[in-house]
């Protein structure tokens, strides 16, 4: 195997990648401090010195964070995954339909014969649906050679259609307690952390990660050095689909409901988290750690706006501005870093 | 191979079109969105009434929250010569063009649920079936006012701002508390939750962290109210001390009401709106006179009368 060669080829890039995370961490600290100062001025209280607030900051973005871990990997290969938000809708519907309890009356249940199933059933079905959708994405991209943007755009439209068709638009609610537990309290954060740690290790220390970076950096070189590019791409998109499925289960459990419109625009937030976290849309560069920091930036912004009681009109305008500004700062600092070397 | 496929596709399209052209009466229905739980109930109401008429067929289209797409759908209905059109408008302000096109073609047009711009003065050949939005927020806030004896701090969860009912329902709250006996009530903060349960939960969790004192959360719909309840319970709040109010009386909302978490919701009879829309469409198609506005009243729901709605 050519693992050692790849390692050597990657060393200079690795050096550049480390500061990228430091940069984005500085952006995060800057934004948090800004809210801290504004908090003392306008609200007369600390923004960061509040445990409950720190918790909610992470909790409210961890579902999209789970998706972003998968999306980051597709972007590192030079691809993209636009289907994740719609997959959340589709998987939430399917999974929840096997997670209902009959305790509130069977007329509120989609499959009256299939109530109060063990929690593993809806989880397994949900993850399988996500995995299958990811396989379709990956297969289309790897073997028909259509651009990832188009393949996952197709899945995005189709999966949303499926989610609406599944119950003809009606929501599915009343899950069993064990299913609702998946989304209760800080569970979404725990699940995100598990996912992030697993894929941080996989991306950094295993062939899985090295192949992924190699494909994104130079696909032809990766192929020449013996990597089965097609198989790796299918794997990556299956992982992205699987994580969208997992996110769907968590979000449905958290809200204790599944609705066809769930996960709308999640794919764009996930992509924004990855890009803010230093993942390059041209491929070959990025990290799970960076994406996690990008996710926290999102959480800080959302909490900060409510904290300052800012009107929704301004919130969205400023969110857009902050996304672009964060990436400009990151790009600028990287350029400077490269020049000084 | 390719031409064969094209031919096959063409043939199946034509046969589908032929099959759908059987019924004597056709009503084109353009819905704002197929994935909104509330609008699904409205659509089911239409289907329920349509099932009572043997030779009636509903042609369903999903405008996917897009104004131009809805206009195209209406134009297609007109071109295909349907007998009547029911529009659940994406945006009330965009309705005059659709009304004009239908009226010019002599095809009756009925707006369902969401009032069109011209609802105060519907031209001949058009009508609006819905509930008077001013009632819902007013009923909701009056109920909260009664529970709080006219004084207290309230937080408001607002629906999506591009939606007129979010704006009207929020204005209703402000108008009720501006008058006696509710002048002791004060809005401490308003945040937009986009009708969404998760966002309602997140906003409420953020509110709780600021240590604000409040006695009630008034949400523009049940989904956001349920989200608020989840965060309140997660923070260990005594649900007897906080009044939570929603609108819509969805199945989830009623379950929360029964559990004692939600204190009041307002029932908008979407099924009846759907039924009345189809009835009006049939009446107009057969040349009968129909009033410009057909009102389906809102009804407040609390623990006392919940059994009427389940």
Q: What mean pLDDT is predicted for residues B1-6?
A: 55
B252 near A CB under 8 A: yes
pLDDT digits (tens, 9 = 90+) for B96-108: 889 999 999 999 9
Answer whether B252 sits within 8 Å of A313, measured CB to CB: no
User: pLDDT confidence of B8, banded at 50, 70, 90?
Assistant: low
Q: Which of B210, B222, B235 to mutate to test the interface with A (most CBs of A within 10 A)?
A: B210
* pLDDT (0 to 100) of residue A255: 86
* pLDDT (0 to 100) of residue A14: 47
Instruction: Give the minimum alpha-carbon distance from B234 to chain A in angstroms, rounded to a whole number.
Output: 7
Structural domain of residue B95, as residue ranges? 2-131+270-296
B212 and B174 fall within a common domain: yes
* pLDDT (0 to 100) of residue A6: 46
B243 and B282 fall within a common domain: no
B238 and B157 fall within a common domain: yes
Tokens for A109? 């249940």
Count of domains forming chain A = 1
* pLDDT (0 to 100) of residue B197: 93
User: pLDDT confidence of A103, banded at 50, 70, 90?
Assistant: confident
The H or E element containing residue B126 is: strand B126-130
pLDDT digits (tens, 9 = 90+) for A151-192: 999 999 999 999 999 988 888 988 999 999 999 889 999 999
How many beta-carbon contacts under 8 Å exist across A and B?
A: 87
Pick the range with the lowest mean pLDDT from A142-156, A167-181, B144-158.
A167-181
B144 and B217 fall within a common domain: yes
- What residue has token string 């096959």? B8
Radius of gyration of chain B (CA): 22
* pLDDT (0 to 100) of residue A10: 47
pLDDT digits (tens, 9 = 90+) for B251-295: 899 999 999 999 999 998 899 999 999 999 999 999 998 999 999
Torsion region of B50: left, alpha or beta (phi above 0 gives left; psi -120 to 50 gives alpha): alpha
Q: Is residue B50 part of a domain?
A: yes
What are the residues of chain A with a beta carbon less than 8 Å away from any beta carbon of chain B?
Answer: 43, 45, 50, 52-53, 56, 59-60, 89, 104, 108, 160, 163-164, 168-171, 173-174, 184-185, 251, 254-257, 259-261, 302-303, 306-307, 309, 312-313, 315
Pairing of strands B216-219, B151-158: parallel
- What residue has token string 């020449």? A224
Residue B87 confidence (pLDDT) above 50: yes
- Which letter, b or e, does each residue of A263-272 get, where b requires 16 or more Cβ atoms within 10 Å of its Cβ? bbebbebbbb
Position with higher pLDDT, B31 vs A340 = B31
Answer whether A255 sits within 8 Å of B161, measured CB to CB: no
* pLDDT (0 to 100) of residue A53: 85
Q: Are B144 and B212 in contact (CB under 8 A)?
A: no
* pLDDT (0 to 100) of residue A19: 61
B205 near A CB under 8 A: yes
Nearest CA in chain B to A304: B206
Count of domains forming chain B = 2
- What is the 3 state secondary structure string of chain A? CCHHHHHHHHHHHHHHHHHHHHHHHHHHHHHHHHHHHHHHHHHCCCCCCCHHHHHHHHHHHHHHHHHHHHHHHHHHCCCCCCCHHHHHHHHHHHHHHCCECHHHCHHHCCCHHHCCCCCHHHHHHHHHHHHHHHHHHHHHHHHCCCCHHHHHHHHHHHHHHHHHHHHCCCCEECECHHHHHCCCCCHHHHHHHHHHHHHHHHHHHCHHHHHHHHHHHCHHHHHHCCCCHHHHHHHHHHHHHHHHHHHHHHHHHHHCEECCCCCCCHHHHHHHHHHHCCCCCCCCCCCHHHHHHHHHHHHHHHHHHHHCCCCHHHHHHHHHHHHHHHHHHHHHHHHHHHHHC
Answer whether B235 sits within 8 Å of A52, measured CB to CB: yes
Q: Is residue B34 part of a domain?
A: yes
Instruction: Give the minimum alpha-carbon distance from A61 to chain B in angstroms, rounded to a whole number.
Output: 10
Answer whether B35 sits within 8 Å of A60, measured CB to CB: no
Q: What share of chain A has pLDDT > 90, as a percent?
A: 61
* pLDDT (0 to 100) of residue B2: 52
Answer whether A174 sits within 8 Å of B35, measured CB to CB: no
Given A185, A306, A309, which is nearest B234 (Cβ)?
A185
Q: Which of B29, B31, B35, B48 to mutate to test the interface with A (most CBs of A within 10 A)?
A: B35
B210 near A CB under 8 A: yes
Report the C-alpha dihedral over residues B250, B253, B255, B256, rounded to 10 degrees: 180
- DSSP assignment of B263-302, as one string? -BEEEE-HHHHHHHHHHHHHHHHTT----SEEE--EEEE-
Q: What mean pLDDT is predicted for residues A38-66?
A: 89
B155 and B234 fall within a common domain: yes
Longest distance between any two alpha carbons in chain B, whole Å: 77
Position with higher pLDDT, A236 vs A60 = A236
B39 near A CB under 8 A: yes
| DSSP 8-state class, residue B60 | E
User: Does the predicted model carry a pTM greater than 0.80?
Assistant: no
Q: Is residue B157 part of a domain?
A: yes
pLDDT digits (tens, 9 = 90+) for A74-85: 999 999 999 999
Q: Is residue B306 part of a domain?
A: no
* pLDDT (0 to 100) of residue A168: 85
Q: Is residue B225 part of a domain?
A: yes
pLDDT digits (tens, 9 = 90+) for A242-297: 999 999 999 999 888 898 888 988 999 999 999 999 898 888 889 999 999 999 99
Instruction: Give the minimum alpha-carbon distance from A305 to chain B in angstroms, rounded to a whole number.
Output: 10
B189 near A CB under 8 A: yes
User: pLDDT confidence of B19, banded at 50, 70, 90?
Assistant: very low
Residues 6+ apart with CB under 8 A from A33: none
Residue numbers of B between 125 and 184 with CB closer than 8 Å to A? 158, 161
Collapse the DSSP code of B33 into the 3-class scheme (helix H, G, I; strand E, B; otherwise coil) and give the result: coil
Torsion region of B194: left, alpha or beta (phi above 0 gives left; psi -120 to 50 gives alpha): left
Collapse the DSSP code of B158 into the 3-class scheme (helix H, G, I; strand E, B; otherwise coil) and give the result: strand
* pLDDT (0 to 100) of residue B20: 47
Task: Show the CA angle centred on residue B297, arms to residues B293 and B301, nearest 5°.
Answer: 160
Q: What mean pLDDT is predicted for residues A17-46?
A: 85
Position with higher pLDDT, B211 vs A179 = A179
Q: Is residue B302 part of a domain?
A: no
* pLDDT (0 to 100) of residue A5: 44
Handedness of CA A107, A111, A115, A120 (dihedral sign): negative
Q: Which residues of A touch B209 (CB under 8 A)?
A: 50, 52-53, 56, 303, 307
User: pLDDT confidence of A61, banded at 50, 70, 90?
Assistant: very high
pLDDT digits (tens, 9 = 90+) for A184-198: 889 999 999 999 999
Given B37, B158, B235, which is nearest A171 (Cβ)?
B37
Nearest CA in chain A to B37: A170
Tokens for A288? 């799970």
Q: Are B98 and B74 in contact (CB under 8 A)?
A: yes
Answer whether A43 sits within 8 Å of B210, measured CB to CB: yes
Q: Which of A35, A312, A315 to mutate to test the interface with B (most CBs of B within 10 A)?
A: A312
pLDDT digits (tens, 9 = 90+) for A289-337: 999 999 999 999 988 888 887 777 788 888 888 878 877 877 776 676 5
B258 and B141 fall within a common domain: yes
ipTM: 0.72
Given A104, A169, A256, which is nearest B34 (Cβ)?
A169
Q: Is residue B153 part of a domain?
A: yes
B127 and B169 fall within a common domain: no
Pairing of strands B216-219, B243-245: parallel
Measured in residues, chain A has a length of 341
Task: Tell me the CA end-to-end span of chain A in Å, nearest whole number.
Answer: 32
Given B35, B62, B206, which is nearest A56 (Cβ)?
B206
Give the CATH number, domain containing residue A25: 1.10.3470
CA B217 to centroid of chain Cα atoms: 21
DSSP bridge partners of B216: B154, B243
Task: Tell me the CA end-to-end span of chain B in Å, nearest whole number.
Answer: 56
Measured in residues, chain B has a length of 310
B112 and B17 fall within a common domain: yes
Give the CATH number, domain containing residue B245: 3.40.50.2300
Residues 6+ apart with CB under 8 A from A235: A138, A208
Structural domain of residue A8, as residue ranges? 3-340
Q: Is residue B309 part of a domain?
A: no
Position with higher pLDDT, B245 vs A325 = B245
* pLDDT (0 to 100) of residue B43: 94
Q: What mean pLDDT is predicted for residues A228-249?
A: 97
Given B207, B230, B252, which is nearest A306 (Cβ)?
B207
B251 and B183 fall within a common domain: yes
- Mean pLDDT of all residues in chain A? 88
């Amino acid at each position: 195997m050519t693992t050692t060669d790849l390692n050597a080829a990657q060393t200079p890039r690795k050096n550049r990648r480390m500061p990228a995370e430091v940069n984005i961490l500085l952006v995060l600290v800057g934004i948090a401090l800004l809210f801290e100062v504004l908090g003392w001025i306008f609200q007369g209280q600390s923004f960061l010195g509040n445990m409950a607030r720190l918790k909610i900051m992470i909790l409210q973005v961890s579902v999209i964070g789970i998706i972003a871990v998968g999306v980051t990997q597709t972007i590192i290969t030079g691809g993209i995954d636009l289907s994740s938000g719609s997959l959340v809708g589709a998987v939430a519907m399917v999974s929840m339909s096997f997670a209902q309890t009959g305790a509130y009356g069977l007329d509120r249940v989609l499959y009256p014969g299939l109530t109060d199933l063990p929690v593993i059933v809806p989880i397994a079905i949900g993850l399988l649906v996500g995995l299958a959708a990811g396989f379709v994405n990956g297969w289309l991209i790897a073997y028909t050679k259509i651009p990832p943007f188009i393949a996952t755009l197709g899945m995005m439209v189709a999966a949303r259609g499926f989610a609406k068709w599944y119950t003809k638009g009606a929501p599915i609610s009343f899950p069993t307690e064990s299913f609702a537990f998946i989304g209760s309290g800080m569970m979404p954060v725990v699940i995100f952390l598990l996912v992030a740690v697993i894929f941080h290790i996989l991306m950094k220390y295993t062939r899985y990660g090295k192949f992924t970076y190699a494909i994104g950096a130079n696909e032809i070189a990766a192929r020449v050095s013996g990597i089965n590019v097609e198989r790796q791409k299918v794997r990556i998109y299956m992982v992205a689909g699987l994580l969208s499925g997992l996110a769907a289960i968590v979000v449905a459990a958290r809200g204790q409901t599944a609705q066809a419109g769930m996960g709308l625009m999640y794919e764009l937030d996930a992509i924004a988290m990855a890009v803010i976290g230093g993942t390059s849309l041209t491929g070959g560069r990025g990290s799970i750690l960076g994406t996690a920091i990008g996710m926290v930036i999102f959480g800080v912004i959302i909490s900060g706006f409510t904290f300052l009681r800012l009107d929704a009109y301004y919130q969205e305008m400023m969110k857009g501005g902050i996304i672009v500004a964060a990436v400009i700062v990151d790009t600028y600092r990287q350029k400077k870093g490269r020049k000084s070397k | 191979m390719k031409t064969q496929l094209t031919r096959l596709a063409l043939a199946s399209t034509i046969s589908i079109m032929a099959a759908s052209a059987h019924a004597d009466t056709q009503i084109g229905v353009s819905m704002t969105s197929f994935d909104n739980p509330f609008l699904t109930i409205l659509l089911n109401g239409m289907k329920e009434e349509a099932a009572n008429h043997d030779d009636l067929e509903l042609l369903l289209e999903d405008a996917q929250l897009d104004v131009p797409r809805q206009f195209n759908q209406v134009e297609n209905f007109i071109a295909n010569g349907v007998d009547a059109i029911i529009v659940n408008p994406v945006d009330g302000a965009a309705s005059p063009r659709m009304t004009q096109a239908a009226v010019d073609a002599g095809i009756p047009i009925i707006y369902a649920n969401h009032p069109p711009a011209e609802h105060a003065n519907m031209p001949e050949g058009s009508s609006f079936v819905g509930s008077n939005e001013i009632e819902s927020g007013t009923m909701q806030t009056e109920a909260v006012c009664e529970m709080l004896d006219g004084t207290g701090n309230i937080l408001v969860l607002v629906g999506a701002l591009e939606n007129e009912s979010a704006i009207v329902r929020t204005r209703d709250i402000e108008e009720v508390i501006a008058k006696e006996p509710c002048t002791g009530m004060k809005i401490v903060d308003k945040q937009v939750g986009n009708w969404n349960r998760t966002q309602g939960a997140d906003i409420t969790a953020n509110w709780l962290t600021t240590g604000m004192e409040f006695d009630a959360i008034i949400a523009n719909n049940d989904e956001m109210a349920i989200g608020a309840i989840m965060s309140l319970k997660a923070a260990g709040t005594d649900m007897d001390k906080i009044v939570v109010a929603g609108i819509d009386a969805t199945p989830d909302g009623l379950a929360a009401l029964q559990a004692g978490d939600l204190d009041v919701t307002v029932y908008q009879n979407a099924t009846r709106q759907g039924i009345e829309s189809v009835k009006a469409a049939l009446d107009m198609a057969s040349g009968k006179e129909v009033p410009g506005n057909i009102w389906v009243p809102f009804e407040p729901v609390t623990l006392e009368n919940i059994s009427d709605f389940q």
